A and B are shown apart, each in its own frame.
Chain A
């Protein structure tokens, strides 16, 4: 079966420094993969490549049969809208919009009618247990709540691939546990997951496969 994500000899250089030094990696549909490694090892760069947020210096990134190198900026944006959901360490919510509007935003970008988008957003917020906080602004939400809003937003357009960049990194242990449960549940219902994390517990609880990263290379596939 063709992998959902296929990176082949991907290099990313910033001047003299190689953030990725020839990474080859495949992720199957429904798989949960955790990438671990020290700071500056290239984990986030890898995530950016898969999300189409950055372009490799050489090598290819193919997601759901789409070679990202062949897409221009607008096409990459459309690719992200439809196929990628992203969860960030620091949540990256728009401070000026309440929780519900932050979630709806993703659907509005693909032209979903507001009513339909609102229904879907409420469904997600209810599933994630924060429907009662839908009108709260990010500044008054707890870290865990913010991250759940972030996850809801990421799932809004039913992405083929959910990318999570250290999703528990800014959370207290209780909120971290909630997010881990959430990601685990999502994977169990078939959501493909690629996470970058420093959190050993997250990797062991949620990932089918853990990849160790150092100096821009895959050094070890732990599981």
Chain B
């Protein structure tokens, strides 16, 4: 045992480069796996963890105060199966708009004395909890973006018709999204709250509503929501990325297996002579096998440990950003279970991969092993070599093209690694381009670079700056269009009206948007259906359809102010989830004397945006919401994709590097012969590079369709998971140039991986090389 260990240690020290390659490949592979697994865990777990931390409500039920009493409701919190209950809380619907500087219609206010409590403890993200009447805590909404910079909610006031204004003293996150805002119970009474809310936490999360409502008068329940709805909302965007992470994870694993197999078997093959010497000294087959397994397992162990640490660091960096970007609570990092799984799994993989060639090494006869390299080898792929020799290609090139055929096993593994590397790069590019195309579609940047909302920013807010100049007199829609057109940088203006609205069966408030020219598409991409052709038709986003429980062809009864109209949904568009688009005539029938209050403007390329916005303010007056479209792809997504792609490409490149190192070692004598015949170092480099560039090209040609297929398959799945239907055009993101460039990615992986060892081969000392066996 001691001798085996000594031999293994000596081999590790002697083969520094091989040891380093094994270590680095295992490290990068493990890190990629830990990162991918860590991100999977991030997507789901934080919500569950947060839910458990604050004892979220499995069921939130609204009761009609006219039908049940508070005592009756309190009793529902004690029925079997309920482990905790909160309430009854008095609730009221507060009508206000532009509370956050953006449109809002009405929201539910709950009278709640305590921020904490047995169920759904609220987490303050800004300010403090309620201290008395006249104060309000609003819910945290990650989608709220103020038009003029970040929203500072605390200190603002909300005016409610006919009542004293409420001052926002805090912003809180409710994991079960049980309310839009909270006031003290006394304030709730002052707001004429006449309904109730109960929050239930069950032993069994799937307990039905009837468990708590049995025995209550009919019609007592005015609404209910299970925790699955807010959970879905919170993890929706995160879930969208699961399919592509799965693809990355799978590709990472495949590439890691291939490279580890290639590296390890190469290490054994290149040490055959050494095996013969060991056997001649009296090592048993088991000892030889043990020495080889240990030789690979040592750097493998270090690589695994390093990979787990690196993967954790990367996962921490990325999942932190990811959580923030996707509105999930911050993740605790990669769990120990994932770490242990990745560590043990990769180490087992390394060991099993080593065992195959190591057992072969153990079975080699001593004589055969000792003489390895001394006797002339039988040539390999002789027909190919002969054919290549007869071509008119420069000899270093034709020799290089023949090189991969000499070791078909090694070549196949390297080829597969390059192919999967290219597939990963292709998939990543497709993913990014599709997301960008979707983003462009959603932003409609070509049609609405600048949007001007002439509705006052804070019509009900009391926080108006007294020093602010008096608002300019309102302009009619036509006047505003004329004023905007008078600006030299304006190319095109589309005038529309935006009105807050509600609809039966649609949980959230939304806006109806009607263009003066409603039959033009205004840059909206159609995911399904057709554009508006006449009165009474509507186009909505996929997300709106999902949350409203509607489908194309359904009718939506929209309530604008006191009046109602029925809209026939004819189009699913890529657009805002809280918008229903219809035509001007339909809206005019609902709101007589309709005036445009919203303008989408295309400006000349190169226009100074600040100067243009200033110009708009000059001609339309100050009380405007002005925004510039084009948020682009979230940097965290770009970062994540880049890290995973680079990781996979680097591992594939390392595979090539390893192959070329092994090939160079195998071919040292041949290179010496060629140099003795007059080959220049550059010609040797060309020979080696040609072999890998050719391999890279073939890998690219194999990997490209794999990546394209993965993109075609996964993107619609990812979109569907996020409640979005992708227009076909968003999947057609690869042009001939990008396809050619992606095939060349294989060439790049091959060339970059081979560059350093090719240089070594070129610089080989001829005299030494000729003595090599």
Contact B677 A109 (CB under 8 A): yes
Contact of A77 among B376, B377, B675, B765 (CB under 8 A): B675
Known: A97-B389, A139-B378. A109 touches B675 (CB 8 A): no
A146 to B675 CA separation, bound complex (whole angstroms): 19
Q: Is A176 an interface residue (CB 8 A)?
A: no
Contact B669 A92 (CB under 8 A): yes
Q: Is B226 an interface residue (CB 8 A)?
A: no
Interface string of A45-73 (1 = CB under 8 A from B): 10010010110000000000000000001
Contact of A54 among B386, B395, B765 (CB under 8 A): B765
Q: Is B680 an interface residue (CB 8 A)?
A: yes
Residues of B with C-beta under 8 A to A25: none
A interface residues, how many (CB within 8 angstroms)? 38
Q: Is A2 an interface residue (CB 8 A)?
A: no
* Main SS class of interface, A: helix
Residues of A with C-beta under 8 A to B767: 44-45, 48, 53-54
Q: Is A132 an interface residue (CB 8 A)?
A: no
Q: Is B82 an interface residue (CB 8 A)?
A: no
Contact of A138 among B379, B678, B679 (CB under 8 A): B379
8 A Cβ contacts from B671-725 to A = 672-683
Contact B378 A137 (CB under 8 A): yes
Interface string of A78-94 (1 = CB under 8 A from B): 11111010101001111
Contact B680 A53 (CB under 8 A): no
User: From A118, which residue of chain B is reached at the shortest CB distance?
Assistant: B390
Q: Is A202 an interface residue (CB 8 A)?
A: no
Contact A114 B382 (CB under 8 A): no
Q: Is A74 an interface residue (CB 8 A)?
A: yes
Task: Pick the most buried of A51, A96, A106, A110: most chain B CB atoms within 10 A of its CB.
Answer: A96
Residues of B with C-beta under 8 A to A93: 376, 673
Contact of B676 among A53, A95, A98, A104 (CB under 8 A): A53
Residues of B with C-beta under 8 A to A114: 390, 392
Known: A96-B385, A96-B406. A109 touches B379 (CB 8 A): no
8 A Cβ contacts from B364-381 to A = 376-381
Q: Is A148 an interface residue (CB 8 A)?
A: no
Least Cβ–Cβ distance between B772 and chain A, in angstroms: 10
Q: Is B617 an interface residue (CB 8 A)?
A: no
A54 to B766 CA separation, bound complex (whole angstroms): 7
Contact A82 B678 (CB under 8 A): yes
Known: A96-B379, A139-B376. A110 touches B670 (CB 8 A): no
Contact A86 B379 (CB under 8 A): no
Contact B676 A92 (CB under 8 A): yes
User: From A48, which residue of chain B is reached at the shortest CB distance?
Assistant: B767
Contact A101 B386 (CB under 8 A): yes
Task: Pick the most buried of B406, B675, B676, B767: most chain A CB atoms within 10 A of its CB.
Answer: B676
Contact B680 A74 (CB under 8 A): yes
Interface string of B260-289 (1 = CB under 8 A from A): 000000000000000000000000000000
Known: A94-B670, A101-B386. A73 touches B681 (CB 8 A): yes
Interface string of B392-418 (1 = CB under 8 A from A): 100100000010001000000000000
Least Cβ–Cβ distance between A66 and chain B, in angstroms: 14
Q: Is B770 an interface residue (CB 8 A)?
A: yes
Q: Is A178 an interface residue (CB 8 A)?
A: no
Q: Is A211 an interface residue (CB 8 A)?
A: no
Least Cβ–Cβ distance between A15 and chain B, in angstroms: 15
Contact B395 A105 (CB under 8 A): yes
A202 to B450 CA separation, bound complex (whole angstroms): 94
A75 to B158 CA separation, bound complex (whole angstroms): 86
Contact A96 B382 (CB under 8 A): yes
Q: Is A29 an interface residue (CB 8 A)?
A: no
8 A Cβ contacts from A103-145 to B = 104-106, 108-110, 114, 137-139
User: From A85, which residue of chain B is reached at the shortest CB distance?
Assistant: B677
A153 to B673 CA separation, bound complex (whole angstroms): 11
Least Cβ–Cβ distance between B329 and chain A, in angstroms: 62
Contact A81 B677 (CB under 8 A): yes
Interface string of B731-773 (1 = CB under 8 A from A): 0000000000000000000000000000000000111001000
Contact A97 B676 (CB under 8 A): no
Least Cβ–Cβ distance between B484 and chain A, in angstroms: 69
Residues of B with C-beta under 8 A to A139: 376-379
Residues of A with C-beta under 8 A to B669: 92
A108 to B402 CA separation, bound complex (whole angstroms): 16
Least Cβ–Cβ distance between A122 and chain B, in angstroms: 15
User: From A104, which residue of chain B is reached at the shortest CB distance?
Assistant: B389
Contact of A74 among B376, B381, B670, B682 (CB under 8 A): B682
User: From A79, which residue of chain B is reached at the shortest CB distance?
Assistant: B678
Task: Pick the most buried of A74, A84, A109, A138: most chain B CB atoms within 10 A of its CB.
Answer: A109
Least Cβ–Cβ distance between A143 and chain B, in angstroms: 10
Residues of A with C-beta under 8 A to B377: 95, 139
Least Cβ–Cβ distance between B322 and chain A, in angstroms: 52
Contact of A97 among B379, B678, B679 (CB under 8 A): B379
A91 to B375 CA separation, bound complex (whole angstroms): 11
A84 to B378 CA separation, bound complex (whole angstroms): 28
A109 to B386 CA separation, bound complex (whole angstroms): 17
Residues of B with C-beta under 8 A to A94: 670, 673-674
Residues of B with C-beta under 8 A to A77: 675, 678-681, 683
A95 to B377 CA separation, bound complex (whole angstroms): 6
Residues of A with C-beta under 8 A to B382: 96, 98, 137
Least Cβ–Cβ distance between B404 and chain A, in angstroms: 12
User: From A165, which residue of chain B is reached at the shortest CB distance?
Assistant: B770
Task: Pick the most buried of A44, A97, A153: most chain B CB atoms within 10 A of its CB.
Answer: A97
Least Cβ–Cβ distance between A116 and chain B, in angstroms: 13
Least Cβ–Cβ distance between A10 and chain B, in angstroms: 15
A146 to B311 CA separation, bound complex (whole angstroms): 55
Contact A80 B677 (CB under 8 A): yes
Residues of B with C-beta under 8 A to A74: 680-682
Least Cβ–Cβ distance between B355 and chain A, in angstroms: 30
Residues of A with C-beta under 8 A to B766: 48, 53-54
A137 to B378 CA separation, bound complex (whole angstroms): 8
Residues of B with C-beta under 8 A to A98: 382, 386
A176 to B677 CA separation, bound complex (whole angstroms): 23
Contact of B673 among A54, A92, A104 (CB under 8 A): A92
Contact A137 B379 (CB under 8 A): yes
Residues of A at under 8 Å CB distance from B? 44-45, 48, 51, 53-54, 73-74, 77-82, 84, 86, 88, 91-98, 101, 104-106, 108-110, 114, 137-139, 146, 153
- 7 residue pairs, one from A and one from B, having the closest CB atoms: A81-B678, A77-B680, A96-B379, A53-B766, A108-B395, A80-B678, A74-B680
- Could you list 14 examples of A-B contacts with CB < 8 Å? A45-B767, A53-B766, A74-B682, A77-B678, A77-B683, A81-B677, A88-B676, A93-B673, A94-B673, A96-B381, A104-B389, A106-B677, A137-B382, A138-B376
Known: A109-B674, A137-B382, A139-B377. 18 other contacts (CB 8 A): A45-B767, A53-B675, A53-B766, A73-B680, A81-B678, A92-B676, A93-B376, A94-B673, A94-B674, A95-B376, A95-B379, A96-B382, A97-B386, A98-B382, A108-B395, A109-B677, A137-B378, A139-B378
